[in-house]
Amino acid sequence: MPEEWQVELSKSVNSPDELARFIPLSPAELRRMRRVVGVYPMRISPHYLTLIREKNGPLWKQMVPDIKELRDKNSPEDPLHEDTMSPVPNLTHRYPDRVLFLVSSECAAYCRFCTRKRKVGKPYIIRPRWIREGLRYIESTSSVRDVILSGGDPLLLSDAKLEFLLKSLRRIRHVEIVRIGTRVPCTFPQRITQKLCRVLKRYHPLFVNVHFNHPDELTSEARTACEMLSDAGIPLGNQTVLLKGVNDDAETLRSLFCGLLRMRVRPYYLYQCDLTRGTRHFRTRVEKGIEIINKLRGHISGLAIPHFVIDAPGGGGKIPLLPEY
């Protein structure tokens, strides 16, 4: 029997033609979107669809396919060299003490600016054999004390699969903390069930990083989802991607970061948009982020201000960018 959230997820919009049933689209718009979806899959969860109010608005831009994605042929597919720094497929070991472990290729909504555009929505990317190999790698590498489960979205795994992963990691003595990176509290809050929280709280110390990009995403449903996770004892951080035409101004980000704190979510990183192929139209100049952080500093609580970082192309890791004081 599928769970309620799985039934709800099956009502997602997966094609331009389905989208046209909710929002009028011209034949030319439809044609262009169909071409994009042939390369990069589309999915918009029912919850996120209800939040999209205007065509070309900040939420629309994040999730609705845009022909510009196909006009960015010179950018690299894997600018962070995640795949070359992988001792086993889908596990990136870049920093000595922590690994990034991709355990799901599915998300509740496919963000058009995704760094892992080359992988998300492609089920063959994650094979059970590689999950086992990843676990074995972590077990045999005693320098790893921090495991970051990512994807795709790890919380789109069933509770049973997730529990298997967490239990396997907890059996490894040198793994001190586990983190989960997920966008479901924003895009698909129905996934945060009491049953899920009961599973998660058995595997502390567990940290969750959520992903909100715009104050319009801070709905009462998202708040409830975050509160349930917090009440399960999980510290919540937030990652935001700086996106042109979506959130690249100080007022929008001030409102987002203060709103997150009110939901007990601590802003952790603000990312410069990576060089990933198909995302060029989202990229701001690096100075833009510095200028915004500069405007926020001193005006809002220091707790509300994330680190502005750029993930160095070529796999150099995250570099913090600071205004000159």
Ligand X SMILES: *Cc1c(COP(=O)(O)O)cnc(C)c1O
CB 234 within 8 A of CB 201: yes
Answer yes or no whether residue 92 interacts with ligand X by CB under 6 A.
yes
Nearer to ligand X, 100 or 304 (CB): 100
In the chain, where does DSSP find H-type helix? 4-9, 16-19, 27-37, 46-51, 58-63, 128-140, 159-170, 184-187, 194-200, 220-231, 250-262, 286-296
User: Of residues 37, 42, 111, 292, which one binds ligand SF4 by CB under 6 A?
Assistant: 111
Answer yes or no whether residue 152 interacts with ligand SF4 by CB under 6 A.
yes
> Which residue has tokens 């500069």?
294
* Contacts for 323 with CB less than 8 Å, ≥ 6 apart: 290, 291, 293, 294, 297
* Contacts for 84 with CB less than 8 Å, ≥ 6 apart: 78, 315
Distance in angstroms (rounded) separating the CA atoms of residues 84 and 146: 20
User: Of residues 47, 93, 98, 183, which one binds ligand SF4 by CB under 6 A?
Assistant: 183
Nearer to ligand X, 210 or 228 (CB): 210
Cis amide prior to 205 (ω within 30 degrees): yes
282 binds, among ligand SF4, ligand X, none (CB under 5 to 8 A by kind): none
Does residue 226 have an active-site annotation? Answer: no
Task: Sort 110 into a burial class: Cβ within 10 Å, 0-12 / 13-18 / 19+.
Answer: buried
Answer yes or no whether residue 155 interacts with ligand SF4 by CB under 6 A.
no
Going through 32-97 in order, the beta strands assigned E by DSSP cover 91-95
Contacts of ligand SF4 in 194-223 (CB under 6 A)? 211
Answer yes or no whether residue 22 interacts with ligand X by CB under 6 A.
no
User: Of residues 100, 196, 229, 270, which one binds ligand X by CB under 6 A?
Assistant: 100
User: Of residues 68, 94, 118, 122, which one binds ligand X by CB under 6 A?
Assistant: 94
Alpha-carbon 241 to chain mean position: 9
94 binds, among ligand SF4, ligand X, none (CB under 5 to 8 A by kind): ligand X
Catalytic residue among 107, 186, 226, 273: 107
Does residue 111 have an active-site annotation? Answer: yes
Distance in angstroms (rounded) separating the CA atoms of residues 218 and 245: 18
Residue 279: φ, ψ to 5°: -125, 10
Strand partners, 308: 270
Contacts of ligand SF4 in 114-143 (CB under 6 A)? 114, 116, 120
CB of 309 to ligand X, least distance (A): 8
Instruction: Specify the stretch interacting with ligand X by CB under 6 A; choose among 29-37, 60-68, 91-99, 131-139.
Output: 91-99
CB of 240 to ligand SF4, least distance (A): 11
Does residue 311 have an active-site annotation? Answer: yes
Query: How many CA atoms does the CB half-sphere of 66 hold within 13 Å?
Result: 21
CB 126 within 8 A of CB 104: yes
Catalytic residue among 71, 95, 127, 167: 95
Contacts of ligand X in 144-173 (CB under 6 A)? 148
Answer yes or no whether residue 153 interacts with ligand SF4 by CB under 6 A.
yes
Catalytic residue among 274, 277, 280, 283: 274
Sign of the torsion angle spanned by Cα atoms 180, 166, 230, 108: positive
Contacts of ligand X in 305-324 (CB under 6 A)? 318
Instruction: Specify the stretch interacting with ligand SF4 by CB under 6 A; choose among 64-72, 127-135, 147-155, 228-236.
Output: 147-155
Instruction: Specify the stretch interacting with ligand SF4 by CB under 6 A; choose among 104-112, 227-235, 291-299, 309-317.
Output: 104-112
Instruction: Give the residue numbers marked as catalytic.
Output: 94-95, 98, 107, 111, 114, 116, 274, 311, 318
Would you tell me which residues interact with ligand X (CB under 6 A)?
Answer: 92, 94-95, 98, 100, 148, 318
